Chains A and B, each alone.
Chain A
């Protein structure tokens, strides 16, 4: 069943879906809007996707997801542009790029840094797409053997790993998971029809709507934080002139092997739950630094310090789709948003996507590659234009964000209740920021929670009320061991030191 022809057929099918004029157009629009918003100060990929999510609901599922994927990549490219030229990383995973990217800009090689980042990302994206195309069918078959106990364990591992492998305090993140699970329980219980935590509200019978939650937590909360920050400090960034976009031969010689290594690192780390792209770029950067003949040049504009993390985070953000598409397990906040988008479109992410909706599955994969190609074409020639966008003052920007996201939310259900919920979750997101709690675990738990509860109840039904069912079944037992291992690994958190190292700059 899994020979090369299946994969080739799949890719061919995917390309035929992806080059359909509508899909091509929306992939293009997604990349364009994603870059545009990603370049704007203070908006990372997660916020961008959250804000633009409602707009894709009117599209067909395939087109909608293709657009979202385009927005995601676009926002990431946009973020790296600002971190290279201005040392303004739009999101955590391009913080690393800012070190040497901005270093190159200071040396007058900003244009070359942009090209290195873009070409490196494109290369990594291509490899990442192929990787998904090859391994997704294999994984989907393995997963078909899973029963309720295995799925439950898988999701617990996904949640716990996303907490342990990501940044910040584990206790706080676990608390956020619990809150996310509770939020996910609001509404009508599927088995019994019991209303839970609805507070007598008619609107909550269907559960807490996804959009107000994510727009509040990511969009509005960010604005509340930024408004407070920019009150003190609003300066128009100074943009140095961009010289030639072409890297010279020495830069190429340094960047190419770094990009290759970064890609490989990203491919594998991207699979892990919990900020795949983020960890990929950190690890890739420190690997380069360790193996470099001139480590003292890092932080001061070494092309390898741009190529490696940029390739790694693009490969990582690509392969993060693999657990989502095959296991139905979103590994980070962006993937949770994708899951939400799929669920609202009536698609349940998981192994059955590939068999039941091959056009969606392969179309999305093929359009990832096309999206990467488009970004290369859009970004480099238009970089002058993108940079002009940075002159937009935040005070003009944030009202636009609020208007667009509110009208988008209202347009989905025509419910003003959703607008009030957005304000409420915005406030909560702001508090979470003050508490230094990451919103990602909460969103993941919110998305996975209802499924987890179902699997848990079903597992115990199969096991006749005996919790031993999680130990009796070999796959489930293996997962339990992994889970315990994850908790033990907390004792030796290596990558925290990576982070410190990176921020010591």
Chain B
């Protein structure tokens, strides 16, 4: 039921990072759970199940490292075509992450003090930069339109209690 489809990528590399990620998370979770009482099998404490799950995760991480080198790729949809230069792709990845996530974090920081209108406007502009070749004028128009739409729909029509304008 997943939306979208998968791009073929370096499987070996992917399973190595995933395996290590699982081991790290599992170890971290088990380490933190040390502080929670384990209890007995009859009356389990809050630490019992987390520790068990954490160790299962570590085991799975190890298994992925060892056995899952050539995982059969899930659906490779029609979008999977079109190879690109690795360097370019990497730059595109960083750019997308930086602007999309950065925009969201900025929105979270500014919403309370600067109001919905300003925050939305900046959010749209920042996330639009995630794609190369965003032209200034269409982006400004888009930001204006979305800001207006968001303010009208969420605050005026749905009556959400969010300040529209900056409070000084």
A225→B56 contact, CB < 8 A: no
Which of A42, A231, A333, A439 is the one whose CB lies under 8 Å from B131?
Answer: A231
Query: Is A67 an interface position by the 8 A CB rule?
Result: no
A416→B112 contact, CB < 8 A: yes
Binding-face segment, A141-149, A171-179, A470-478: A171-179
Chain A residues with a Cβ closer than 8 Å to the other chain, count:
99
Query: Is B67 an interface position by the 8 A CB rule?
Result: yes
A223→B100 contact, CB < 8 A: yes
- Chain B residues lying within 8 Å of A253, measured Cβ to Cβ, are none
Query: Is A487 an interface position by the 8 A CB rule?
Result: no
User: How many angstroms from the CA of A174 to the CA of B61 in the assembled complex?
Assistant: 10
B14→A232 contact, CB < 8 A: no
User: How many angstroms from the CA of A414 to the CA of B108 in the assembled complex?
Assistant: 11
Q: Mark A212-238, 1 if CB is under 8 A from B, else 0.
A: 000000101011111111111110000
Q: Give the number of residue pairs across the A-B interface with Cβ within 8 Å.
A: 254
A192→B96 contact, CB < 8 A: no
B63→A171 contact, CB < 8 A: yes
Known: A192-B46, A422-B104. A224 touches B82 (CB 8 A): no
Query: Is B162 an interface position by the 8 A CB rule?
Result: yes
B123→A91 contact, CB < 8 A: no
Measured between C-beta atoms, what is the minimum distance from A270 to chain B in Å?
11
- Chain A residues lying within 8 Å of B112, measured Cβ to Cβ, are 416
Most B CB contacts (10 A, CB to CB) among A189, A233, A399 go to A399
The SS class assigned to the A binding surface is: helix
Query: Is A396 an interface position by the 8 A CB rule?
Result: yes
User: How many angstroms from the CA of A32 to the CA of B78 in the assembled complex?
Assistant: 27
Query: Is A11 an interface position by the 8 A CB rule?
Result: no
Known: A461-B42, A496-B72. A399 touches B78 (CB 8 A): no
Measured between C-beta atoms, what is the minimum distance from A135 to chain B in Å?
22
User: How many angstroms from the CA of A232 to the CA of B25 in the assembled complex?
Assistant: 34
User: How many angstroms from the CA of A431 to the CA of B14 in the assembled complex?
Assistant: 9
- Chain A residues lying within 8 Å of B71, measured Cβ to Cβ, are 168-169, 171-172, 436
> Which residues of B3-44 have CB atoms within 8 Å of chain A's CB atoms?
3-7, 9, 11, 14-15, 17-18, 21-22, 25-26, 29, 32-33, 36-37, 40-44
Query: Is B50 an interface position by the 8 A CB rule?
Result: yes
Nearest-CB residue, chain A, relative to B18: A435
User: How many angstroms from the CA of A420 to the CA of B104 in the assembled complex?
Assistant: 7
Known: A175-B60, A407-B160, A433-B6. A420 touches B108 (CB 8 A): yes
Nearest-CB residue, chain A, relative to B48: A457
- Chain A residues lying within 8 Å of B142, measured Cβ to Cβ, are 396, 399
Which of B7, B18, B96 is the one whose CB lies under 8 Å from A227?
Answer: B96
A232→B41 contact, CB < 8 A: no
Binding-face segment, A82-90, A123-131, A240-248, A294-302: A82-90
A167→B109 contact, CB < 8 A: no
Interface residues of B (CB under 8 A from A): 1-7, 9, 11, 14-15, 17-18, 21-22, 25-26, 29, 32-33, 36-37, 40-50, 53-54, 56-57, 60-61, 63-64, 67-68, 71-79, 82, 84, 88-89, 92-93, 95-97, 100-101, 103-105, 107-109, 111-112, 116, 120, 123-124, 127-128, 130-132, 134, 142-143, 146, 150, 154, 158, 160-162
Listed A/B pairs (8) with beta-carbon separation below 8 Å: A167-B74, A169-B71, A185-B50, A194-B45, A222-B4, A395-B131, A395-B134, A460-B44
Interface residues of A (CB under 8 A from B): 42-47, 55, 58, 87-93, 95, 98, 166-169, 171-172, 174-175, 178-179, 181-182, 185, 189, 191-192, 194, 196-197, 218, 220, 222-234, 275, 277-278, 332-334, 395-396, 398-400, 402-404, 406-407, 410-411, 414, 416, 419-420, 422-423, 426-427, 430-431, 433-440, 453, 456-457, 460-461, 464-467, 496, 499, 503
Q: A192-B46, A411-B154, A423-B105 are in contact. List 13 more A-B contacts (CB 8 A).
A: A92-B75, A172-B64, A182-B53, A194-B47, A225-B4, A231-B92, A234-B131, A402-B103, A402-B123, A416-B111, A423-B108, A438-B74, A467-B41
Question: Which 4 A-B pairs give the minimum distances between C-beta atoms?
Answer: A44-B3, A465-B41, A465-B42, A419-B108
